[in-house]
Amino acid sequence: MTENVPSEFSSNLLGMDHDTLMKEFKEGKAVGETARIEPLKHQFTWKRGFVNCWTGLPNFGKSTLVTFLMANKSAWDTEWKWAIWSPEMISSTKINGTVQVSAGDIQDELIHMYIGKHPYKHFEAMYGIPQMTEEEYQKGREWVEDHFYIFHPKDKNYKTLIDNFMWIFETIGVSGWLIDPFKNVRYESFGTTDIVLSQIFDEFKDCAVMTDSSVNIVAHPKSNNEPKKKVKLPSGETADGAFKVVTQYNLLGGSAWDSGMDGIFSIHRPFAHIDSNDPTAWLYHLKQRKKHLVGNTGVFKGMEFDQMTNRYYFDARCPIDGEFKQAIVRDEFGVPLEVQPTPQIMGSDGEPEFVDGENSQSAISFTEEKIDEPAF
């Protein structure tokens, strides 16, 4: 069949790989790996070789959520390690009069999540909550050092970032990569925005496939010109209502994001217009390539963030250690819902097993639906 094909092209042909096909037929295909969050088991998994986009309005928790999902995965599955490029989280401090560039801010964020207690001296004075002990801090530091590798090259060109990640992958071995945020990535403009982005995303995809890893990108919307939807008051007048859900079409070069990403997620805070500190969060799964291997699109509404533990709670329970926290979960009209904790027992393998309670929020918090333009 390939007799007349030039040798330089024949190597590009991918023929029928009988061994691989039979192995997958008998043992199963490589599906998304569990996120270790029971209420999300049908909606989100970590799929190797895929590129995900995480978006949402500013200060809605994009970076915190994806970082928490990464931390939770590594807390349960210790072989999962991550490379992180997050220039906005890089800080500086003076030691003996010399300025030191540091990744301490993001490392403290991860320690805070893992231990579930804050490492900040000022929190104790502000909120009256004791700082974690030095022993707990040391435990958290060792865990973060073993699972997260922060790199900070001066050159922010996307090709340089890929080269850095490849070096970390080949030298240390990691399962995933976080680019946060994409707006800080530099690239040459050689065409329209969607054409340029499409090429960049193609190279990120190649990187994910070659390393069998999960690539995750945090992206900001291009503007907040119309952040709220209009609602009609009983008087007949209109007023600002809830903030709109950010979709891939609110990103610069929206069509490139829609076609170039394997998965697209948007974090939304439905009651932020009422109370900027309201902890309620909804996770929109807007797009998913190969759903049968990864998970369904839809919206999960049983999520809450706790600033003191720096953790997300799903159906009122933290997946890292099973801690229950009574949550104020409300429907889209702001009406409180009664939430019972998802019962958790330890299986024979030492891992958690969950049993949905009769009134578990999981029965109502995840809605499977195709979302083109989420409307509130």
Q: List the single range of 71-80, 119-128, 142-151, 153-162 with lowest mean pLDDT.
A: 119-128
- What are the pLDDT digits (tens) for 301-315? 999 999 999 999 999
pLDDT at residue 88 in the model: 94
For residues 350 and 337, the model is more confident at: 337
Q: What is the distance between the alpha carbons of residues 119 and 111, in angstroms, rounded to a whole number?
A: 8
Mean pLDDT for the stretch of residues 359-374: 41
**pLDDT tens-digit map of 346-358:** 445 544 444 333 3
For 206-230, write each residue's pLDDT tens digit. Answer: 999 999 999 999 999 987 555 566 6
- Please give the pLDDT value at position 361: 40
Average pLDDT, the chain: 85
Question: Is pLDDT at 58 greater than 70 in this prediction?
Answer: yes
pTM of the model: 0.83
- Is 323 a residue whose pLDDT tops 80? yes
Residue 2 pLDDT > 80, yes or no?
no
Least reliable range by pLDDT among 22-26, 80-84, 334-338: 334-338
**DSSP string over 269-297:** -TTTTT-TT--EEEEEEEEETTGGGS---
Q: What's the gap between Cα 49 and its chain centre?
A: 15
In this structure, the dihedral spanned by the alpha carbons of residues 71, 76, 79 and 81, taken in order and rounded to 10 degrees, is 0
Cα–Cα distance list, 304 to 63, 69, 323 (Å): 15, 13, 13
Which domains, ranges and CATH numbers included, belong to the chain?
47-335+364-368 (3.40.50.300)
Tokens of 201: 């995303």
The fraction of the chain above a pLDDT of 90, given in percent, is 63
| Dist CA 72 CA 44 (whole Å) | 13
| Residues 285 and 44 sit within 8 Å (Cβ to Cβ) | yes
Torsion angles phi and psi, residue 245, rounded to 5: -75, 130
Q: Is the separation of the CB atoms in 256 and 51 below 8 Å?
A: no
